[in-house]
Structure 1
Amino acid sequence: MMGMQTAPAQLFYDFCLDDHIPDDHLLRRIDQFLDLATIRTELKPFYSTIGCPSIDPELMMRMLIVGYCMGIRSERRLCEEVHLNLASRWFCRLGLNGKVPDHSTFSRNRHGRFRQSDILRHLFETIVERCMQEGLVGGEGFAVDASLIAADANKQRSVPGDQWRTGGFDADAGRAIREYLATLDDAAFGAASEVKPKFVSPADPAAQWTGAHKGHAFFAYATNYLIDTENAVIVDVEASRAIRQAEVGASRTMIDRTARRFGLKPRHLAADSAYGSAANLAWLVKERQIEPHIPVFDKSNRTDGTFSRSDFVFDTERNHYTCPQGKLLVQFRRAYTTPRSGITKEGTRLYRSSKSDCQACALKEKCCPNTPERKVPRDLHEDARDAARALADTPAYERSRHRRKKVEMLFAHLKRILRLGRLRLRGPSGARDEFLLAATAQNLRKLAKLRAAAGACPQPA
């Protein structure tokens, strides 16, 4: 006989929400490491002492963590998920009868007290400290890289860069435009490069028009990660324009902030060749005493069959080059009454051979066929490049190059699992908020994977 389910006739139920959340559920495992006790202390100066009680900021923080850990991009959809999902209710301490706040509450708080207090940065750093306490951060080797995230801007509504003017905006300008104007002198945004972009989006002027992916160009921001290569824990994150100069500047900001905030100073730093300029290598080697496990960015190699700079031997003590035929290339061939630095506008020193030596040389056609003598430029920071080249043959460099791939895996996880392929929020502050929350979620998931003990989490209040 076919059965039929009927509604139970009980009037009262004994229902414990905690009993219905599996021990291996992601939110239960994350909850072991999430301590939001300091949230109210950090936000207290930004709340009024009178009036109706606000929505608990810890509730909003927990809901945002649910959204970014689960890849829920819409806050309206997030409110529906927390309302319906038992595990989300348990994690947010709502019980069965707790009321879920309206989605508009997040926008009001984000544009106000959350950004004024920099609470999302505080939340991220709290999780990094927990990772350190759990022994997931070695502190010896770091890796840095950047990835492009599409901005919420439309090419069809953009204007050519040469027609864009930064003046003429009044007090009623949009939030994204006000933030853009406020970051014109910021090294990570407006001051990163004097080159005007090809197109500018009036909806989000700070977003960079870029074709770096070798496909269709688009407006984007760059999320910069500094990770500890031991367990791929993100120790810092920074938003910047999607250009190399801004990304290199962001790496320096993150290294200094990590040392100041956590006392972490890596022995070596791994990165790709975009970070291998002479100036950046000099900053790492001379100013921060960090070994650069970075391919040198060098355009001195020639492809026309003539000798490259690497074919000339430099003598550091005597400050001259020696050509393959044993002749000297020097900066000056006579003494000047007023000493000259010999530094060009490009930040190099120019070493020249003797014209008579070159004219009589059998290798002139292979060295300088189109000029009377050979000139070899040497960057002011070429010694830092030489230090990076010397490290490239060590076993530690090979290990760092392999471990550097972990940051690429984090970016893949960010876009495919957490679904952060396109920003919802506009302006530098919006990009910063999203990148901080996403990095926080990734570190929490790392803790849940490597350190969480099933069934060991405390009972929620």
Structure 2
Amino acid sequence: MMGTQRVEAQLFYEFDLDAHVPPNHVLREIDRFLDMGDMREKLKPFYSHTGRPSIDPELIVRMLVIGYVMGIRSERRLCQEVHLNLAYRWFCRLGLEDKVPDHSSFSRYRHGKFRDSDMLRHIFEATVERCLKEDLVSGEGFAVDASLIPADANKARSIAAKDWSEDVARAASNRAAKEYLETLDDAAFGAASPVQPKFVAKSDPAAQWTRAEESRPYFAYATNYLIDTKSSVIMDVEATRAIRQAEVGASQTMLDRTESRFGIRPDWLAADTAYGSSDNLGWLVKKRGIIPFIPVIDHSNRKDGAWTRFEFEYDEANDQYICPEGFALKQFRRNYSDPNRGKNVRGTRKYRALKSDCQSCPSKEKCCPNAACRSVSREEHEDARDFARSSRKSKAYKVSRDKRKKVEMLFAHLKRILNLTRLRLRGPNGAKDEFLLAAIAQNLRKLAKLRPKTVQTEATA
């Protein structure tokens, strides 16, 4: 006999929402580590003492965390999912009869109280503190890298850089253009490089027209991660334009901020060649005392097969180079009253041999076949570059090279699992908000994975 399902109407129901959330659900694990205890105190100065009560800001944050943890990119869809999903309601502290906020509430909080109070940065740092408490951070070695995230900008609605100006940005009168004008002096955006891109997006002028390897050009921002290599905990995150100068500057900003906020300075830093500039290596070695496991940017190789600069030995005591044949290459042959004479803008010094020595040298064809005499240049922070080269020969460098790949794995997780393949928000502030929320979600997922409560319960039983 075929059965039929009957729905009997009842006047009262007994329903325990907590009992319907599986014990190993990812949100149940994350809920243990999401700390917003002092959030209301930080937001209190931004609320009026009169008027109707607002939507609980903790509810807004919890819904945003769900969106980024579960890869729900649309805020309209997020509201629908929270309305329907029991686990989402439980995480947001909503009962069955409680109303889900409208999607427009996110914009009001994002452009108002959250940015004014820097709330998302505070929540991110709270997750890092919890990782420190759970012993997931060693502080011994860090790794840094950047990844491009396409911006919400269309090439068809862009203009040539030669036609772009501050007056055009003011005439656009949108929020992203106003943020662009506010960040013209910011080292991470407008002041990162004097070079203008080929195109500028009117809808998001701060987005950089760029091209990744084997891809078509597009508008993008760069998300910069500074991670601890022990458990891949994100120690800091920064949004910048998608250019190398801004990314290198962001690495220094994140290292300073991590030391100031948590009192942690790593013994060594692993990064790729983009971070191997002379200025950055000098900053790491001389100012911060950090061992740079970073390949050095070096353009000293000769295409004509002649001796490279490494064939010449530097005599620090006499400030000169000695060539393989024993001749001296000096910066000056007589004393000058001006100590800056002979330096260019970047502080590079050039050492030259005597023409008479080179003309009579038996190895001239190996040394300077196309010049009357040989010259060797020395960067301002050449001692830091030499230290970085020597560090590459150590066994620790090989270990750091493998650990540096953990940053790339986080970027892959960001795009494939959290579904952050394109930004929804525009402007520098929009990029900062999205990258902070994504880093919060990744740290929370890391805590849930490495410190699960269900495993501890089973072990105790």
TM category (shorter chain) comes to: over 0.9
2:169/2:202 contact within 8 Å kept:
no
SS at match of 1:48: coil
- Could you say which residue in structure 2 is the equivalent of 1:375? 375
SS in 2 for 1:71: coil
Counterpart Cα distance in 1 of 2:156 and 2:367? 51
Q: How do residues 305-320 of structure 1 correspond to structure 2 at under 5 angstroms?
A: 305-320=305-320
CA-to-aligned-CA distance 1:31-82 (integer Å, 9 cap, x gap): 1111211111111111111000000000000000000000000000000000
Counterparts in 2 of 1:46-445, with a 5 A limit?
Answer: 46-167=46-167, 170=170, 173-336=173-336, 341-445=341-445
1:339, distance to aligned residue in structure 2 (A) = 5.0
Of residues 74-83 and 300-309 in structure 1, the stretch that sits farther from structure 2 once superposed is 300-309
Partners of 1:64 and 1:338 in 2: how far apart?
60
Q: Does the 8 Å contact 1:32/1:452 carry over to 2? A: no
Structure 2 Cα separation of the partners of residues 269 and 367 of structure 1? 36
Give the C-alpha shift of residue 452 in structure 1.
1.9
From the superposition, tell whether residues 46 and 328 of structure 1 become closer, same or farther in structure 2 (CA, over 3 Å): same
Do the aligned partners of residues 395 and 338 (structure 1) sit closer, same or farther apart at CA in structure 2, a change above 3 Å counting?
closer
9-18 or 62-71, which deviates more: 9-18
Tell me the distance in 2 between the aligned counterparts of 1:146 and 1:37.
32
Distance 1:106 1:405, change over 3 A: same
Confirm or deny: 8 A CA contact 2:350 2:375 kept in the other structure: yes
Preserved CA contact (<8 Å) 1:301 1:310: no
Quick one: which amino acid aligns to residue 243 of structure 1? I
Which residue of structure 2 aligns with residue 2 of structure 1? 2
d(CA) in 2 for partners of 1:220 and 1:316? 45
Structure 1 CA distance for aligned equivalents of residues 161 and 168 of structure 2 = 16
SS in 2 for 1:149: strand
Mark the CA change 1:337 to 1:201 in structure 2 (over 3 Å): closer, same or farther: closer
Give the TM-score normalised by the residue count of structure 2: 0.97
CA, structure 1 residues 334+115, in 2 after alignment: closer, same or farther (shift >3 Å)? same
* Alpha-carbon shift at residue 368 of structure 1 (Å): 1.0
Query: Which stretch has the larger CA shift, 342-351 or 132-141?
Result: 342-351
Indicate if the aligned counterparts of 1:223 and 1:240 stay in contact, CA closer than 8 A.
yes
User: 2: distance between equivalents of 1:213 and 1:76?
Assistant: 34
Residues 23, 455 of structure 1: 8 Å contact kept:
no
SS of 2:240's equivalent in the other structure is: strand
Tell me how far 1:409 sits from its aligned partner: 0.2
Q: Which amino acid aligns with 1:364?
A: K
| Structure 1 position 363, deviation (Å) | 1.7
Alignment deviations for residues 267-326 of structure 1 (CA, whole Å, 9 cap, x no partner): 111000100011100000000111101111111112321111111111222211111212
Question: Does the 8 Å contact 2:315/2:321 carry over to 1?
Answer: yes
- Identify unmatched segments of 5+ residues in structure 2: none
Letter in 2 for 1:39: M
**In the alignment, what sits opposite 1:15?**
15
Percent of aligned positions with the same letter in both sequences?
A: 65
Label 1:279 to 1:172 Cα distance change in 2 as closer, same or farther (>3 A).
Answer: closer
Distance (whole Å) between structure 2 residues aligned to residue 269 and residue 49 of structure 1: 48
- 1:358 is paired with a residue whose SS is helix
SS, match of residue 167 in structure 1? helix
The answer to whether the Cα contact below 8 Å between 2:346 and 2:380 also exists between their aligned partners in 1 is no
The letter for the 1-side match of 2:203 is A
Please tell me whether the aligned partners of residues 306 and 368 of structure 2 are also in contact (alpha carbons under 8 angstroms).
yes
- Judge conservation of contact 2:35–2:123 (CA < 8 Å) in 1: no
Name the SS for the 2:362 alignment partner.
coil
Q: What one-letter code is carried by the residue in structure 1 that aligns with 2:175?
A: R
Unaligned runs of 5+ in 1: none
Shift of 1:340: 5.2
**Aligned-partner Cα distance in 2 for 1:56–1:335:** 73
| Aligned partner letter, 1:120 | L
Q: Please tell me the residue identity of whatever aligns with 2:103.
A: H
Q: Is the 8 A contact 2:170 2:178 kept in 1?
A: no
Separation of aligned partners in 2, 1:103 and 1:339: 64
Counterparts of 2:95 and 2:307, CA distance in 1: 75
Counterpart of 1:316, as a letter, is E
Aligned residues: 457
Q: Which residue of 2 is the match for residue 447 of structure 1?
A: 447
Q: Distance in 2 between matches of 1:368 and 1:172?
A: 57
1:218/1:37 Cα in 2 relative to 1: closer, same or farther (>3 Å)?
Answer: same
Higher mean Cα deviation, 225-234 or 210-219?
Answer: 210-219
For 1:96-150, what per-residue CA distance to the aligned partner results, in whole angstroms no more than 9, with x for missing partners? 1111000000011111111111100011001110110110111111100000000
- Judge conservation of contact 1:224–1:250 (CA < 8 Å) in 2: yes
Q: Counterpart of 2:336 in 1: which secondary structure?
A: coil
Is the contact between residue 170 and residue 177 of structure 2 (CA under 8 Å) also seen in structure 1? no
Please give the secondary structure, in 1, of the residue aligned with 2:179.
helix
Q: Secondary structure at the match of 1:81?
A: helix
TM-score (structure 1 length as normaliser): 0.97
1:408–1:357 CA distance, 2 compared to 1 (3 A): same
**Aligned-residue CA RMSD in angstroms?**
1.5
Give, in whole Å, the separation in 2 of the partners of 1:50 and 1:401.
57
Separation (CA, whole Å) in 2 of partners of 1:172 and 1:363 = 64
